[in-house]
Amino acid sequence: MAVTRTFSIIKPDATRRNLTGAVTKMLEDAGLRVVASKRIHMTREQAEGFYAVHKERPFYGELCDFMTSGPVVVQVLEGEDAVKRNRDVMGATNPADAAEGTIRKTYAESIEANSVHGSDSDENAATEIRFFFSDDELVG
Shortest distance (Å) from residue 99 CB to ligand ATP: 13
Indicate which single residue of 74, 85, 118, 133 sits in contact with ligand ATP (rule: CB under 6 A): 118
Between 111 and 126, whose beta carbon lies closer to ligand ATP? 111
Spell out, one character per residue from 52 to 91, where the chain touches ligand ATP: x when CB under 6 A holds, - when not: --x----x---x----------------------------
> 10 Å Cβ neighbour count for 4?
17
Shortest distance (Å) from residue 49 CB to ligand ATP: 14
CA atoms 79, 80, 82, 84: torsion sign: negative
- Segment contacting ligand ATP (CB under 6 A): 34-42, 75-83, 108-116, 131-139? 108-116
Asked if 117 is an active-site residue, the reply is yes
Cα 121 versus chain centre, distance: 13
Between 12 and 133, whose beta carbon lies closer to ligand ATP? 12
Alpha carbon distances (Å) from 20 to 38, 55, 79: 11, 28, 20
Pinpoint the alpha helices (H) of the chain.
Answer: 12-16, 20-29, 44-50, 60-67, 82-90, 103-107, 122-132
Between 68 and 93, whose beta carbon lies closer to ligand ATP? 93
Task: Give the up-direction half-sphere exposure of residue 93: CA atoms within 13 A in the CB hemisphere.
Answer: 4
Indicate which single residue of 30, 114, 125, 132 sits in contact with ligand ATP (rule: CB under 6 A): 114
**Residues annotated as part of the active site:** 117
